[in-house]
Amino acid sequence: MLFVYSLQMTKVKNIGGEIYIWLMLFAFPLVFSPNGYSDITKTKMVFFMVVTAVFALFRFVCCLLDKRFPYPHTVAQWAVLVYLLATCISALASPYEGTFLGLARNEGVLTVFFYCLTFFCGVGISFKRRHILPLALAAVGFSVIGILQICNLNPLGLYPDVYYYYAAMDVYTAPFIGTIGNAGIAGAFLSVIIPLFFAWFITGKKRYDYLILIPLTSAFFLLMFSDISGAKIGVAAAILLCIVFMLTDKNRICRTLTAVAVLVFGTAVSYFLVPVYNHPDFSFSFREGGMLIPLLAFAALLALGGWLLRKVNFPVNAKLLRAVMLGVLVLVLIVGIIYIYNSDAQSGFVYELNQVMHGNLQDEFGSNRIRIWKRCIEMFKEYPLLGSGPDTGVMRFNIIFERFSPIWQRTLRTGVDTAHNEYLNLLVTVGIIGLVPFVVAIAAVLLKKKKPLREVCAIAVLGYVVQAFFLFSISITAPYFWLFLGFADKVPIKRKIRINEATSE
């Protein structure tokens, strides 16, 4: 009787988990306000909190009925709890009011509590291969909307009044794209889903797994055309490390060649097609010669290699292959560093890295991030241990950027309210006691041995944590990080607190 009851409770919990996954991985990326971008952050934040609160309450009731409560047992789970406690302590010690909700981006104690709750919701769910479907559907919809906006269209009426994609820096502060908003924040979402789709595909064994190349390609196109540098670095790092550490058999090698061929083809298309906007007209220009033919040839060669290897039987020494791939990665990095050091580029990311290597570190590098990061170091020295309180950076940065808008015929001013580096931002706002457990939780998940599907979730986390060096946490995209961090952590929980031990046996 007890066995039948436990089986029924497990089934109920699984159904609840399925609903939560569909709401978070399908509905959450696509939900938006009827007012478009004007209040999309609030809309998504409320949606995320309500859905997570309802699911957490549902799981709590299930635990009451089952008379069993999960007990944190991994390093990551304890680190997340310590991070939440540190945030609360920092808020109580803060010299500023408003730390419960946050002062700039609603990243106060309440939001951090829901982030940690999302992590534990993810821990309690067994992520299956079928769960890629809701995210894949959302990714295609999101990417199509974003690509249409780059083509100067306004699907779903997300841009209000005189706003449009190419009005960025003239009418408003940064380009907005898809059903997320700020292109940089959208890049955080892409940094999660592109490595996830890539890793999910190469670890699959079914023919229908090839369908995942559709959302992978569409999301990659959007990334390349929107030119989000931080997200590109995050995606590249996650995919490279995925290739190094996940090539363990013939099937994965063949699939990796196919997936990389798709990405190289996407790179070639984005290189060839150049969006040209001349108000109010839009068109594409075509870049001839250069890297187009070599990229297409390389993509074809990779795809052919993946197909031919399937016809050949050969043994795979996983340890040797990993060592070789790691050596290749190191060689590529060395060649890249030499190329950048000797580059004659006059602008862009390569130029800025070149100047840094030659000792010329200017405040405006990285879209003025260097100036912001220098200010972070100064702010950290004021409250090193506890920080000044969650989401209080807006009260302390005192940095204003100005530019002249030819459309409005006036000077636009933008203030800095966050570090544009999630780790520096934590150091400034919640101090050492907040940053350390946050980093420990990530490291504990990424460095721990996991089953293949947990590895796939860890790759998604890796993409996010790399791009987080250039962006900040916000409730539009941070929930994906916390959810997949939970998915990647150990499941099921080993120990439980049992209520009324004698009567439940």
Q: Enumerate the domain spans of the chain.
A: 2-248+316-504
Supply the pLDDT for residue 446. Answer: 92
One-letter amino acid for residue 250 of the chain? K
- Closest residue by Cα to residue 32 from 164, 149, 179, 176: 179
What values do phi and psi take at 90, rounded to 5? -60, -40
Supply the pLDDT for residue 499. Answer: 47
List the chain pLDDT tens, one digit each, 505 residues.
444 445 565 677 788 899 999 999 999 999 998 888 888 999 999 999 999 999 999 998 888 887 777 788 899 999 999 999 999 999 999 999 999 999 988 999 999 999 999 999 999 888 999 999 999 999 999 999 999 999 989 999 998 877 788 887 666 777 899 999 889 999 999 999 999 999 999 999 898 999 999 999 999 999 999 878 889 999 999 999 999 888 888 899 999 999 999 999 999 998 888 888 887 788 888 887 678 888 999 999 999 999 998 888 878 887 888 888 888 888 888 988 888 888 877 776 777 888 888 888 887 877 788 889 999 999 999 999 999 999 999 899 888 776 766 666 667 677 788 888 999 999 999 999 999 999 999 999 998 877 778 889 999 999 999 999 999 999 999 999 999 999 999 654 444 444 444 333 3
In angstroms, rounded to a whole number, what is the distance separating the alpha carbons of residues 393 and 501? Answer: 49
- Closest residue by Cα to residue 309 from 297, 321, 317, 301: 301
Where would I find the H helices in 358-471?
Answer: 365-382, 422-429, 431-446, 452-467
One-letter amino acid for residue 101 of the chain? L
In angstroms, rounded to a whole number, what is the distance separating the alpha carbons of residues 247 and 241? Answer: 10
Supply the pLDDT for residue 427. Answer: 96
| Other CB atoms within 10 Å distance of the CB of residue 198 | 30
Residue 401 forms beta bridges with which residues? Answer: 414
Q: Which two tokens stand for residue 68?
A: 């069993």
Residue 285 forms beta bridges with which residues? Answer: 274
Sign (positive/negative) of CA torsion 85, 87, 90, 92? negative
- Residue keyed to tokens 């006691």: 433
Supply the pLDDT for residue 398. Answer: 84
Supply the pLDDT for residue 414. Answer: 74
Sign (positive/negative) of CA torsion 261, 267, 273, 275? positive
What values do phi and psi take at 412, rounded to 5? -100, 140
Which pTM does this prediction carry?
0.92
